[in-house]
Structure 1
Amino acid sequence: MDEKELARQVLSGSDSAMRLLISKYERLVVHMIARVVSDDMDREELCQDVFVKIFDKLSTFKFDSKLSTWIATIAFRAALNFAKKKKIVQVDIDQIAFAIDDQKSITEEHDMKLFILKLVDQLPVNYKTVLTLFYLEGFSYPEIVDVTGMPEGTVKNYIHRARLKLKKIVEEQAIKEVALLP
């Protein structure tokens, strides 16, 4: 089912279409919110609020962009507004020391992905957001511009800077691990 048909069915009150919309875009909403809000209960509540807003505002969506872009925009702005209200403080990356509990598990693919996500979580909100949209969600630069409201040059710059910061963190971690070896 294409996006327009899904939206039409949701607007007509179809419960199955609502469930389909949630299952199709739940991961995107969770990713957008998790990049800004760290508390599990706050994230869960915020995700629910985002889907309520999506259902309330769906009739105003004009399909000028992809539905996923519109949904990501709602989730991103909701997360930023929540962070402002709660006065969530973003910690500078240079102040964080990351310790690896089980060095052997990092070599496994699943654990490596979790490790990388933990590293990404250490980045400033804007860096986490653009990396998540670009690499995890596969958004193009123009789509990221639509979601975040940042100029395209800023998006590209943030992706570049985030990659450099991640590289630096990984290199520092590797040095720490080598120092721990007998």
Structure 2
Amino acid sequence: MSNNIVNHLYHNRSDRELADLVLQGDREAFRVIMERTEKLVIHIISGMVPVREDREDLAQDVYLKAFRHLSGFRYEAKLSTWIARITYNACVNHLRKKRLPLVDPAISEAIDAPDDAGDPFALLSERQLAGILQQAVARLSPLLSTLITLYHQAGLGISDIAHITGLPDGTVKSYLYRARKQLQQHLLTIYQNKEAL
């Protein structure tokens, strides 16, 4: 089947229509679901799982679970949010098996950054800043990294993130605040080191 026909037949369909087609045995419809959600799944897995080989295995497991349990999807949330929840739970289970912490034990401590440190962005090019931010996000605990990624990169709202992670809205907001403070502290440290040169 040509891509134009596939695009016409599947890509304009709603989540419910695609799910119904999959449940009727249409595998092409599931491929479209995967295409629609793969960026979100990759964002979550990349933020939570440090080992690249494990990430690939987890992505396959996520879509296998989604395929097997699609009949249980109740349309209480968007299909992408449901798949993101499966992804998040798979990552949490993976971290538990590997005995890796989900949240840094020091998360409960407030991080105070100096207010008069100036603008850390002024000395950095856009490319340098993107690289530094990516490194800083990678240094966060898996949960904080995932929350930052879901909110700022995937563009999800607090309630969607709360649904995916199973955390209360207030906890998501609190953790996002703490993650931003950690990122700010990291950027200020880099800025101060550059200024000292």
TM-score, normalized by the shorter chain, greater than 0.5? yes
What is the identity, as a one-letter code, of the residue corresponding to 2:19?
A
**TM-score, scaled to structure 2:** 0.79
More divergent stretch after superposition (141-150 vs 76-85): 141-150
SS of the residue corresponding to residue 133 of structure 2 reads helix
* Alignment match of 2:84 (pick from 57, 72, 79): 72
Aligned to 1:178: 195
| Contact 1:29–1:72 under 8 Å retained in 2 | yes
| Contact 1:93–1:124 under 8 Å retained in 2 | no
Distance 2:143 2:126 in 1: 29
The size of the alignment, in residue pairs, is: 168
Distance 1:179 1:28 in 2: 39
What is the identity, as a one-letter code, of the residue corresponding to 2:135?
K
* Alignment match of 2:42 (pick from 18, 27, 30): 30
| Contact 1:92–1:124 under 8 Å retained in 2 | no
Gapped regions of structure 1 (runs ≥ 5): 95-105
Aligned to 2:69: 57
* Alignment match of 2:125 (pick from 102, 107, 113): 107
Aligned to 1:8: 20
Aligned to 1:98: none
Gapped regions of structure 2 (runs ≥ 5): 1-12, 108-123
| Contact 1:93–1:122 under 8 Å retained in 2 | no
Rg (Cα) greater in structure: 2
Is 1:142 the counterpart of 2:165? The answer is: no
Distance 1:134 1:53 in 2: 24
Distance 1:30 1:164 in 2: 24
Identity of aligned residues (%): 36
**TM-score, scaled to structure 1:** 0.85
| Contact 1:29–1:47 under 8 Å retained in 2 | yes
| Contact 1:145–1:151 under 8 Å retained in 2 | yes
Alignment RMSD (CA, Å)? 1.9
Distance 1:122 1:136 in 2: 17
